[in-house]
Amino acid sequence: MIPSRLLLWLVVLWAALGFAAGWFAVLVELWWAAGALLLVLAAGDAKLGRQVPKVRLERTLNGVWPLGQWREVALTLHHEGGRPLRFSLFDGYPTAWEMDGLPHGGQLMARRFLTFRYRLRPLARGDETFSAAHVRVESPLRLWQRQVRWGESQRVKVFPDFARVLGHNLIATDQRVPQAGTLRKRQRGEGTDFHQLREYRIGDSLRSIDWKATARQQKPISREYQEERDQQVVFLLDSGRRMLARDGELAHFDHALNAMLLLAWVAQKQGDAVGLMTFGAETRWLPPQKGRVGLDRLLAGVYDLQPSEVAPDYALAAEALLGRLRKRAFVVLLTNLRDEDDQALAAAVRLLSRKHLVLCASLRESALDAVLETPVTQFNEALRLAATHDYLTQRSESSRRLGLRGGMLLDVTPDQLPAALVDRYHGIKDAGVL
C-alpha cells in the first residue's frame, strides 16, 4: 500500500494545525480530534483498499510485428467486483520499444468493461515478451494506492518489415536499373532454356529456326526459349563483428538481411530455389527450396539472428557450404570486407568457385561517400578526405585480390545493395552462366 498525494497533503495540513496549536491553546483539542479522525479514515480506507480487485485483463495484439513500424495494442479490463475502481495502468511491453499512449488512467465501473489502446514501435528483431501490466488502484477514499499486476505474459516475434522492404526497393530497383526490376516481362523467344516450337514470325532471328521441324512441317518453324529455371540461389550471410557497423537506424547486418530477402523474393518468382547458411555468430543452414514456402522458411530462419563480436571464418564457412550443396548454385556472399580479411576471403572464394558461381557483395559505409562529396574548406577536412581516399584505395586493392571477374564483386553502400543484387541476378539469368 502506497499513501496517495491526498493523504500526504492531509498529513501536512494536520501538522500545520499542530504547529498553530503550539501558539494558540484553543486549537489543541481540534488538533487531537483532527488527528484521530484522520487516523480512523486512513486505517479504514487501507483495510478496504487491501481487498483484491476482481479484474481480468485481456491484451489483444499481433503475434508477429514488423520491425520499425507502429502498431496498436488493445487492453480490455473486465471488472467483476461490486464497487467502482479508479486506476492508473502501465503495460509490461518490451522496454526497448518506442511507446505512445501510456500510462492510462480512468475509472472502471462495477460489472462493466473498458477498452483502450496504445501504440508501440519495435526497434530490434527477435523474440520479445509482454509481461503482466503494472497497475495502481486507488482505495475508496483515495487515501491509498495498491500496486497490483493484471494480465498474463505473451510472446511475440519481430520480423524484418518485408512489405516495406519489398515495396520500397522494388520501386528503387525499377528506377535505377530498369532492366532489373521484378516487374520485367520475359520477351518471347528470349532465354536459354528450350520452351516450345511455334510457327516462324516476322522479326524472329534466323538462328531460332528449327530446320528439321521446318522440313517436316513444310513451313518455317522457330524455337522459343525461356529463362533458366529450377536453379539454386544460396546466401552465405556473415553475422560476425564486421556487420555490427551501423548505417542510419539499421546495422549493416539488417541492411544485408533486407537485400537478401528482396533477392530471395525475386528468385522464387523466377522459379528458383532459395537457401541460406549463416556464419560468424552461429551457423544456420536452410536447404534451398522453391516457391513461397522457401521464402517463408528463409524469413523465419533469420528473424531472430543478431550479429556478434565473433570474427568470421570465411574458409570454414566455405568448406561447410561445399559439404551441404550437391548441385551447382549461385552463391551470394554478404559481408563487410576489410583489408585484413582479403587473404582468408580470397581463399574461401576460390574454394567455392570450383563448383559454384560466386558473387561477393561487400557493404561500404555511406559516411565514406559523404566525406568525398563534402567540400574541403579547412585543414582537418583535407586530412579527413586524404585518409578516406587512402582507405578506399586499400579497400579497392583488397577487392582486386579476391580474383572475382565479370561483375561478380559488389562494393556498394547499404541503400545501393538491393538494386545491385537484383540487377546482377538478372544479368546472370540472361547470360545463362549457371
Give the architecture (CATH level 2) of 55-159. Sandwich (2.60)
The closest alpha carbon to 187, from 172, 170, 208, belongs to 208
**Residue-averaged pLDDT of the chain:** 83
Instruction: List pLDDT tens digits, range 60-80.
Output: 999 899 998 999 999 999 988
CATH class of 162-185+228-431: alpha beta
More confident call, 256 vs 27? 256
For residue 47, which of 160, 178, 139 has the smallest C-alpha distance?
A: 139
Every domain of the chain and the residues it spans: 2-49, 55-159, 162-185+228-431, 194-226
* pLDDT value of residue 284: 92
Q: One fold for both 55-159 and 162-185+228-431?
A: no
Q: Are 385 and 371 in contact (CB under 8 A)?
A: yes
Rounded average pLDDT over 343-355 = 86
SS3 of the chain: helix, strand, coil, percent, to 5? 40, 30, 30
Instruction: Please classify residue 192 by burial: count the beta carbons closer than 10 Å to its beta carbon, then call 0-12 exposed, 13-18 middle and 19+ buried.
Output: middle
Long-range Cβ contacts of 385-388 (<8 Å, 24+ apart): none
Rounded to whole angstroms, what are the CA distances from 362 to 176, 332, 411? 19, 10, 5
Measured CA to CA, the distance from residue 41 to residue 45 in angstroms comes to 6
Q: Over range 183-187, report the average pLDDT.
A: 42
Residues 269/294, Cβ–Cβ less than 8 Å = no
Over the stretch 302-323, which tens digit does the pLDDT of each residue have?
899 999 888 888 889 999 999 9
Whether 104 shows a pLDDT value over 70: the answer reads yes
Prior bond of 178 cis (ω within 30°): no
pLDDT of residue 168: 53
Residue 14: other Cβ atoms inside 10 A: 15
CA distance linking residue 305 with residue 244, whole number of Å: 12
Task: Say if residue 171's pLDDT is above 60.
Answer: no
How does residue 281 score in pLDDT terms, banded at 50, 70 and 90? confident
> Which residue's C-alpha cell is 482505495?
139
pLDDT at 274 over 90: yes
Question: Considering the entire predicted model, what is its pTM?
Answer: 0.73
Strand arrangement of the beta sheet that strand 98-100 belongs to: 55-60, 71-79, 113-121, 98-100
pLDDT at 233: 93
Rounded CA gap, 197 and 92, in Å? 65
Q: Show the beta-strand stretches assigned E in 200-245.
A: 221-226, 232-238
Across 195-204, 225-234, 346-355, 368-377, which has the greatest mean pLDDT? 346-355
Residue tagged 585518409 (cell numbers): 387
pLDDT tens digit sequence for 383-396: 777 877 776 666 66
- Above 60 in pLDDT, residue 1? yes
User: What is the predicted pLDDT for the residue at 101?
Assistant: 92
- Percentage of the chain exceeding pLDDT 90: 30
> Are 228 and 284 a contacting pair, CB within 8 Å?
no
Torsion, CA 303, CA 305, CA 307, CA 312, rounded to 10: -120
